[in-house]
Chain A
């Protein structure tokens, strides 16, 4: 059973229902969940990743490639998460940020080579020793995605990761992200309040209760 499967997932905040979703996201597919700001869509992603904020309660089952994730801690789920901000660690170099994502295994030289190769592939060759603070917004966004992908996640959750970028850059980073997720066959859930982002995925668009959303 491949892909990400939300089986009767319900999210409540102090008793009131915020979301009820049952859906399957196939490998390489992107499902968008559209909702207004403050409706609980970020909390839904936090819940799916296993970092439920205080006051929230989650019921239902979450499956990923046949594994039941429901009771697993965040670190064992293998779900990548991208926020609207890149959350790069400013005290580490670009390479250090990427090494932070890289799973254990291999010697130091091999790991460094893997980091360099990932950077080169993303058009950032030679950036490993750079200070993240010297990067442009688009470069930072790419580094943040590379960090997530280097951890070899089996699914991606995107919390409006394109909202902070200006229009030209936005399409470019969107293509970069979805290109990588399709190439790796990752099921992706994107939450957004922007119809443009949802349309660009080419996948189904739902609200927090699983109803199809008609894009304007």
Chain B
């Protein structure tokens, strides 16, 4: 057998550059094109005249920063107090799948739960509340954005918790906590001084990504947030969808303002980090051991963790129940009858949208997987790493708010004649799917035993053979996990689908959010549930396939994390 004929893998050199372009160009091009129309005479002047501006800005700041602080605080508390406790296994099993729930579905479910006519009110009425008709309360869409913040916290907590768990082993946590306890510190104090600083350094980018998302989410704000005024990004999206494009300058100026707000909030956040560090140093030198805090901290972590998990699961169960409900008059805790009627009537439209959603998700995830594997293989073969590490760069599309870059991308797509076609939507999804596929797959790839490929090479295997026959088969489980995550991210995309699709590419998420304003709960329930079904199916496959393929190879059946 001659191996000299194998070309030395010319193509691999190009992949990191291509990946870089996919991550950077749409963001920069989109931002530039977004802001351009805002600098005319009408742009900023028009938004300054808008009476809701101050309220919209305040909402964006308060709900975004507030929900990020609360979610991060709770994630830290759970990591500090519960990680080595038996209940943590249960909490993790409850919260991990919720990561894959699209934001829109979570928001719709939560809205069904907490609305004045929602399931909670029904469960408590009339015996506890005396309500015979839904009360006239602004629980949902409250002017302070509390419902929006609740939804954001419930949805971001699982993400921050799992990112923290992934970073914890690198922080030598168990030994440091033992040392701290032996020196007399309470658990919370020991965690705060000995584990949190290195852990937070690894969490900073995910936290800032959460902050950017929370300040600018459109679909969650549309479902849970206030309306007079709405959050700034929701208002920008409304201006964008003005049929005559007359509001385009206002939308562009609003997008620029929103972008500046996010940058300002990030700067504020980084300053607050320094202040927090100062406070922690003060605490350290004062020497208080904080042992009295542990009981309350453990209680709060347990209640908040399980409470939020229960809230989300109850929300999703509500979606399912509404889609099956026949008659369900107000104070009744459960529907009078169960019927498949709605599923029958909506099945054709649902099926069509499901197919389109899946197609877009598969194309975007497939492309992302090829790019990520290409980058990792180029790194392995040539030691080739871009100037800025890809693991930092992948955060760019997550840190720049979608509402700031997508209007520009929409105009570029419109100019190029791509807008309104599903491949353009898939291309836009790729920008946001790629980071998650990379973050999920890279640790497993890099964590692979380096001796295996070395042994294979010494046995005469070519680099290509090592890739196809050794590396990829060994990484089947993490690759499938990354694919499932990519599919979930694509299915959950709202704004890219809406704007790049020009309203003509109806995925499950855009349709579900569009239905939300109509108030047909049975229909919303069905579409929300369908939105959940795809990611759930993806993760079930990612868990199940390795077990099937490797039924005779115990070590390869799991291993999502390297």
Contact = CB atoms under 8 A, between A and B. Distances in A.
Given A75-B289, A90-B198, A111-B285, A81 B180 contact: no
A191 interface: no
Most buried by A among B84, B181, B197: B181
Contacts of B21: none
Interface residues of A, number: 37
A99 B291 contact: no
A85 B187 CA distance: 21
Contacts of B194: 89, 100
Given A96-B281, A111-B285, A103 B184 contact: yes
Contacts of B184: 75-76, 78, 103, 151
Contacts of A51: 178, 181
A14 interface: no
A112 B285 contact: yes
A61 interface: no
Nearest to B281: A96
A141 interface: no
B185 A75 contact: yes
Contacts of B187: 75
* Consensus secondary structure, chain B interface: helix
Nearest to B194: A89
Contact of A99 (B176, B180, B284): B284
Contacts, number: 85
A112 B201 CA distance: 27
Contact of A79 (B84, B182, B197): B182
Interface string B167-199: 000001001101111111111001001100110
Interface string A93-109: 00010011111111010
Interface in B266-318: 281, 284-289, 291
Contacts of B201: 91
B179 A104 contact: no
Given A51-B181, A75-B185, 20 more contacts: A49-B182, A73-B181, A75-B289, A80-B183, A83-B179, A87-B175, A87-B176, A92-B193, A92-B284, A96-B285, A100-B185, A101-B183, A103-B289, A104-B287, A104-B288, A105-B287, A106-B287, A108-B286, A112-B285, A151-B183
Ordered nearest first, which 7 A-B pairs have the shortest CB separation? A74-B181, A91-B197, A81-B182, A104-B287, A151-B183, A75-B181, A101-B183
20 contacts: A46-B178, A49-B181, A51-B178, A51-B181, A74-B181, A79-B182, A80-B182, A81-B178, A81-B179, A85-B175, A87-B172, A87-B179, A91-B197, A96-B285, A100-B194, A100-B284, A103-B289, A105-B287, A108-B286, A111-B285
